[in-house]
A = this chain, B = another copy of it.
Amino acid sequence: MRKRVNLGAGEALIREGEKYKCMYLVEDGWLLRARFLPGGTRQIVNFALPGDFLCYNMLMFERSEFDIVARTPVALWELETKSFRDMMTRHPGLAEALMWSNAHEEALLAERVVSLGRRDATQRLAHVLCEILARLQLIEKHDGDTLLLPLLQEDFANILGLSVIHIVRVFNRLEQMGVVKYKSRRVQLVDLEKLRRVAGFDGEYLYFSKRNDVRAPF
């Protein structure tokens, strides 16, 4: 039923316009879902961490609207699926997990829309750092006061709808404010409380707050 797939850093799982082959569950590594636009710019819509599903809308769409590219070496499980209805009867746990994942991702995207629409560069960067921290804690891939990320400043730019050069400036500002320090893919969390305040971050949307009867099914 399940097969493992491995990708090297930089390899694409699927490209925009390609037909979906199957669904995946990320076991290890980071992936970016992105679109290239005429003019050469790029927007990263999403990033997937261990525990996230990918390509689940193959159940609805024939082709991918985005590239999905490994940012690190990645290990995936291929999930054999015919239709969602089939999945519900044969693997209800999987169907539920998928629904969970979908809702989670929707919450992340909604929050990103808020950031891109109404927060300035400093707030955006602070906010996405809070989001990443929260997600890493959720899958127990974080401890200490330093975030180890595979993200370049260029990636931050493409996630936040900014230019690389401006990311540099904003990191400088945050460092001067005594909030975080960026050094070659390490973000040192100098003052987490201040970071949350700058971001206006409310982590509720990530934690499935007080519904104790619901848990991440993986």
**What's the Cα separation between A154 and B110 when bound, in Å?**
20
Pick out which of these stretches binds chain B: A98-106, A130-138, A142-150, A171-179. A98-106
**Are A107 and B43 touching (Cβ within 8 A)?**
no
Out of B85, B118, B160, which one reaches A96, CB within 8 Å? B85
**What's the Cα separation between A204 and B61 when bound, in Å?**
9
List B contacts of A99 (CB < 8 A). 59, 84, 98-99, 102
List B contacts of A116 (CB < 8 A). 113, 116-117, 161
Out of B42, B56, B61, B211, which one reaches A205, CB within 8 Å? B61
Q: Residue of B at shortest CB range from A207?
A: B61
Contact of A152 with B by CB under 8 A: no
**Are A59 and B103 touching (Cβ within 8 A)?**
yes
**Are B118 and A113 touching (Cβ within 8 A)?**
no
Contact of A62 with B by CB under 8 A: yes
Interface size class of A (residues with CB under 8 A): 35 or more
Contact of A45 with B by CB under 8 A: yes
Contact of A168 with B by CB under 8 A: no
**Are B57 and A103 touching (Cβ within 8 A)?**
yes
Out of B60, B113, B200, which one reaches A208, CB within 8 Å? B60
Contact of A165 with B by CB under 8 A: no
List B contacts of A211 (CB < 8 A). 60-62
List B contacts of A164 (CB < 8 A). none
Pick out which of these stretches binds chain B: A5-13, A33-41, A182-190. A33-41
Q: Residue of B at shortest CB range from A211?
A: B62
**Are A63 and B161 touching (Cβ within 8 A)?**
no
Out of B37, B60, B114, which one reaches A214, CB within 8 Å? B60
- Give A residues with C-beta under 8 Å from B: 33, 35, 37-38, 41-43, 45-46, 56-57, 59-63, 65-66, 83-85, 88-89, 92, 95-96, 98-100, 102-107, 109-114, 116-119, 158, 160-161, 200, 202, 204-205, 208-211, 213-214
Pick the 6 closest A-B CB pairs, nearest first.
Answer: A117-B161, A116-B116, A109-B109, A43-B117, A57-B103, A43-B118
